[in-house]
Structure 1
Amino acid sequence: MQHHAKLQSTRNPIGSRWRIAGPLVAAAWLGMLMQSGTQADPKRSAWMWTQSSDSFGAANVLGDPAKEALVRDRFDSWNFDRIYTSVGNLPLSDPEVLANWNATLSAQGVRSQMLLGANTWIYPANRTDLLARVQTRLLNFNASRTNPAERLTGLHLDIEPQGLTEWSSSSAAEKKALLYHLRDTYADVRSHMDQFGGADVPIYADLPVWFDSSSSIGWDDAAERDAWFADISDSLAGISLMAFERGSLSSIVSGVQWEIDNLPIEVRVGLNVKEIGPGDTFDDLAELESLALQIEQHYGDEIGGIDYQPFYTYMDVAPEPVKNADFDASGRVDGGDFLIWQRGYGIAASATLGDGDANANGAVNGYDLEAWRATLGASSIGLTAVPEPSAMLLQVGLPLIALAGRAWHVQRAR
């Protein structure tokens, strides 16, 4: 089982002489820190499908600097440690767009995985197409990037035999045969990647919570079931269990416990954001988020995290993150708040407002500094949201840094 290590806090105490120079130094640091922030207690992710009909489908985000900046800001606020992105033809048609996407995500501690999905790939006759996509869009792309941060960090396969038209009419034995096709597909992809330059690229996959059920699949016995899961664990680094149509912690536990207890790979829990609405699994987003929190509290490091399906719907329904940069609760955002932020910078988990955490994600990083900059001089009364960061954030040159330095030396000389 993979466990996420928490980063150690990096504290930098500073004297009162920095109260004058602080805002200037903060502005100069902002661009750099937005590229070097740490992620808070990583645990969330989402499936980012192409979905050209939605403004936050991958087809409409990648290559749009403003949307990319907005999405990265949300990733930070929501504690995303990775994203499964359907990159389409970008590795071939516009590789620089994908390279920049990967690099900016890497800079804030978010892993960029390529998402591929087609249920018919389980059939041997169709695997040639799958392997060709893996080769041209992932392996060749990664090999062309000299900067490791620009590479895709994983392959995420969404191949669901239960989604095939023939599944519903298949016997238990026929369904089991389809699962063996799925196992072999994973193995073929792993073998191909190992052979052609992708041995260091992990593979993750999506599974429903009931593949371990003898009544659903028709396993001969527990030994056969266990052997199948052991086989796929040889090919995969982790799975996302699609715990859909389950609205309570007890129903989630009953669906995922066996895999958590028995698999030697990372297990994450997937929730379906499309199941929100009157008469559906969740009445509103608050119910879904409450369940996600219960799952995290129940399992802790036993699971890798929570995945949302799909990202574009989550982006549409989730409220804009509330940000408050009045870290000292003085009623005003000023230089004193910058001092608090600087002392707390680098805390990666369990940070509070008093540590400099403006977006309540448990970390203190460049996004919190951006919230401070955007509201500097404002009263904290009634603050609910901060303007989203622009694509360039700030353009601050060396003269400003030098000015800040002179202000500090003047204070030292007194």
Structure 2
Amino acid sequence: MRNQSNHRFYLLLACCLLFLGSLALPSNRAQAQPKQKATWFWDTAMIKESSEDILSFASANGVNTFYLQMNRDVRPEYYKNFIRQATARGIEVHVLGGSPSWSLESERYRLEIFLDWTAAYQASAAPEERFTGVHIDIEPHVLGEWSTNRSSLIKQWQSNVRFLADGVRSLNLPITADIPFWLYTYNLPDDSMSMSRWIISKVDAVVVMAYRDQATNIYNLAIPEMDEATELGKKAIIAVETKSGGEGNFITFYEEGSSIMNEQLQQVDAMAAQHASYDGLAIHEYRAWKDLVDRGN
């Protein structure tokens, strides 16, 4: 009887340990998170009438994340409807805000409006209707002060980024920031580190705007800031452009079309996979990208 009891005891103990082990060591499949394939969505009013078309395009093109601009002229119920449908398709929606003026402390009130709106929206929305992240696009280098008083501008930019990051974390949301690929070449006023390293340290992820139309060039431009993100334990997404513009044809895939862009992005993805920080691709922006696809090339 004692041997039988001991056998039952050890069998029960083994089962318990296996069960606890399965909780402590989830499978690789459960741990793995899909890399982003994202796009910016600036014209938020389109979600009023075109949600199905937008989400069908996203599904057809592998998009799993939208950066959707906060627009107070679009009522919350439209956001809720769109995000609910996106969630049902496995697509995340991050609230998007920012402009170069957000670098200035005199414009701090704009940041407060953005944070207050996001907090109120999240509180009123059902779980499947909520944003799952915050995305900021500030770009201080666009302002005239970048040339005339850069040191002061950078300090104000730092102050506002801190304010935003603290506000977003109070909402229990991750924050991602857009940065140009060359930001690592500029240091803070005290020369303690690069501007890119500093902002990477303050956010959860960055989108490196490596706007070129050849895979090797895109990847090479993104390397320095991906490396900084790796060192800091953060994530980096590589972005490309599809809009036409006056900065040169090599900046955008507007001339090449969507098929060539997809081929180049597959190569970028393969090359960037060796970086621990690499977390996917982003295409700027929805309407221009859709125009490429609709052109059929």
Q: 1:63 aligned to 2:48?
A: yes
Q: 1:289 aligned to 2:262?
A: yes
Q: Which residue of 2 aligns with 1:156?
A: 135
Q: Which residue of 2 aligns with 1:207?
A: 179
Distance 1:98 1:301 in 2: 37
Work out which of the two has the higher radius of gyration on C-alpha atoms and give 1 or 2: 1
Q: Which residue of 2 aligns with 1:138?
A: 118
Identity of aligned residues (%): 20
Q: Is contact 2:197-2:225 (8 Å) kept?
A: no
Select the structure that is richer in strand.
2
Q: Is contact 2:70-2:114 (8 Å) kept?
A: no
Distance 1:84 1:293 in 2: 21
Q: Out of 258, 261, 269, which is 2:238 matched to?
A: 269
Q: 1:316 aligned to 2:284?
A: no
Q: Which residue of 1 aligns with 2:202?
A: 235
Q: Out of 73, 80, 95, which is 2:56 matched to?
A: 73
Q: Is contact 1:176-1:218 (8 Å) kept?
A: no
Q: Is contact 2:183-2:196 (8 Å) kept?
A: no
Report the CA distance shift for 1:103/1:181 in structure 2 as closer, same or farther (over 3 A).
same
Q: 1:44 aligned to 2:37?
A: yes
Q: Aligned partner of 2:52: which letter?
A: A
Deviation at 1:289, TM superposition (A): 2.4
State the aligned residue count: 258
Report the CA distance shift for 1:301/1:86 in structure 2 as closer, same or farther (over 3 A).
farther
Q: Secondary structure at the match of 2:282?
A: strand
Q: Is contact 1:6-1:41 (8 Å) kept?
A: no
Deviation at 1:68, TM superposition (A): 1.1
Distance 1:118 1:80 in 2: 24
Q: Secondary structure at the match of 1:83?
A: strand
Deviation at 1:184, TM superposition (A): 2.1
For residues 92-126 of structure 1, the C-alpha deviation after alignment (integer angstroms, 9 at most, x for no partner) is x6212111111111122211111112111111111
Q: Is contact 1:153-1:202 (8 Å) kept?
A: yes
Deviation at 1:253, TM superposition (A): 2.9
Q: Secondary structure at the match of 1:224?
A: coil
Report the CA distance shift for 1:181/1:255 in structure 2 as closer, same or farther (over 3 A).
farther
Distance 2:28 2:85 in 1: 21
Q: Aligned partner of 1:299: which letter?
A: A
Q: Secondary structure at the match of 1:212?
A: helix
Distance 1:49 1:122 in 2: 19
Distance 2:111 2:249 in 1: 35
Deviation at 1:248, TM superposition (A): 2.5
Q: Is contact 1:41-1:79 (8 Å) kept?
A: no
Q: Aligned partner of 1:316: which letter?
A: D
Report the CA distance shift for 1:301/1:107 in structure 2 as closer, same or farther (over 3 A).
farther
Q: Secondary structure at the match of 1:314?
A: helix
Deviation at 1:71, TM superposition (A): 1.5
Q: Secondary structure at the match of 2:193?
A: helix
Q: 1:181 aligned to 2:161?
A: no
Q: Secondary structure at the match of 1:274?
A: coil
Deviation at 1:276, TM superposition (A): 8.3
TM-score, structure 1 as length reference: 0.57
Distance 2:294 2:81 in 1: 27
Q: Is contact 1:142-1:151 (8 Å) kept?
A: yes
Select the structure that is richer in helix.
2
Q: Aligned partner of 1:250: which letter?
A: T
Q: Is contact 1:59-1:87 (8 Å) kept?
A: no
Q: Aligned partner of 1:74: which letter?
A: F
Q: Is contact 1:187-1:232 (8 Å) kept?
A: no
Distance 1:298 1:7 in 2: 23
Q: Secondary structure at the match of 1:204?
A: strand
Structure 1 unaligned residues grouped into runs of 5+: 9-39, 51-57, 322-414
